[in-house]
């Protein structure tokens, strides 16, 4: 059981910050800032896990925080930034179906819908108001990530949408379903492999093998010709 003292307040501040970064992930055009936003979001998530650890003393929470901080806060953003060296575009200005303004509006509506549908089961499912809040924000963040995936046209920013979605799932997992630590690790490894593969695919899909090798060499991956 969570007591709503200073930890509760701190977590609420972090929730607010997560929602703030989500808004900017939807609208940001410059790719570099998009990656930085994702990194910031992941660091905030790690901070939430640390605060939860301070409250519950479950060691796996600390490991989740560490894993999130290292892989999602630093390694994945760094990898994404390296692809910018090869990528011809630095800004993603193409949107399909939804303009940033309308996706922002839609995500506000999404948050509200998730809130109303969750409040029906809140009594049974959530032991605490804060857990309810975490659940709602987690699911909304996942839905916002999904929206980024279908409203962006560039594959690189679709990847950020996917990552945001995963962050939402992690947030939901932190507050609702206690996942075994090993599953968390596997998810992160999966995520990492997926990012590596999809970024490589993202800028290699239109080139021949030789040109592709050249691009990979620029990324720092050596190939014998």
Partner 1 sequence: MNWNTAVYIVMNPLFALVLSPLVLGLIKTVKARIQGRPGPPVLQQYYQLRKLFHKEIVYSEDSSFIMRLGPYLGIAFMLTASLFVPMVFIPQTGWFGNIILFFYLMITAKFFMVLGGLDAGSTFGGMGSSREMTVSSIIEPVTIMSCAALAFVLKTTSIPEMFRTLLAGSIFSYPTLILVGISLFIILIVESARVPVDNPETHLELTMIHEAMILEQSGPKLALVELASGVRQTVLMALLINVTFPWGLAGLAGCASLLLAAVTMAVKMLILAATVGLFESLLAKIRFFRLPDFFMIALFLSFITIVFELLR
> Footprint of partner 1 on this chain (CB under 8 A)?
6, 9-10, 12-13, 15-17, 19-20, 23-24, 27, 99-101, 104-105, 107-108, 111-112, 115, 129, 132-133, 136
Shortest Å distance, C-beta 112 to partner 1: 6
Q: Which is nearer to partner 1, 12 or 213 (CB)?
A: 12
- Residue 9 C-beta: closest distance to partner 1, Å: 4
Least distance in angstroms from the C-beta of 81 to partner 1: 19
Task: Return the HEC string of the chain.
Answer: CCCCCHHHHHHHHHHHHHHHHHHHHHHCCEHHHHHHHHHHHHHHHHHHHHHHHHHHCCHHHHHHHHHHHHHHHHHHHHHHHHHHHHCCCCECCCECCCCHHHHHHHHHHHHHHHHHHHHHHHHHHCCCHHHHHHHHHHHHHHHHHHHHHHHECCHHHHHHHHHHHHHHHHHHHHHCCCCCHHHHHHHHHHHHHHHHHHHHHHHHCCCCHHHHHHHHHHCCCCCCC
Torsion angle, alpha carbons of 203, 207, 209, 214, to 10: -60
133 vs 179: CA distance, rounded Å: 19
Of the pair 25, 159, the CB lying nearest partner 1 is at 25
Minimum CB–partner distance for residue 173 and partner 1 (Å): 19
Q: Which is nearer to partner 1, 129 or 153 (CB)?
A: 129
Radius of gyration, CA atoms only, the chain:
19
Min CB(177)–partner 1 separation in Å: 19
Q: How far is the CB of 100 from partner 1 (least distance, A)?
A: 5
């Amino acid at each position: 059981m969570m007591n709503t003292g200073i930890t509760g307040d701190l977590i609420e501040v972090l929730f607010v910050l997560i929602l703030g970064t989500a808004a900017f992930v939807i609208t940001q055009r410059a790719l570099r800032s998009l990656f930085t936003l994702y990194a910031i979001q992941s660091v905030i998530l790690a901070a939430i896990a640390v605060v939860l650890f301070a409250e519950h003393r479950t060691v796996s929470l600390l490991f989740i925080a560490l894993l999130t901080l290292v892989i999602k806060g630093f390694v994945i953003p760094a990898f994404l930034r390296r692809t910018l060296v090869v990528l011809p575009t630095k800004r993603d200005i193409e949107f399909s179906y939804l303009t940033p303004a309308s996706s922002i509006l839609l995500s506000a509506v999404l948050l509200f819908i998730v809130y109303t549908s969750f409040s029906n089961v809140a009594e049974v499912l959530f032991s605490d108001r804060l857990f309810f809040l975490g659940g709602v924000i987690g699911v909304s963040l996942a839905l916002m990530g999904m929206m980024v995936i279908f409203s962006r046209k560039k594959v690189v920013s679709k990847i950020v949408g996917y990552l945001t979605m995963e962050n939402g799932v992690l947030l939901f997992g932190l507050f609702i379903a206690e996942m075994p630590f090993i599953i968390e690790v596997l998810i992160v490894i999966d995520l990492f492999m997926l990012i590596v593969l999809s970024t490589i695919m993202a800028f290699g899909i239109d080139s021949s093998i030789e040109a592709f090798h050249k691009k990979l060499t620029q990324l720092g991956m050596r190939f014998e010709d």
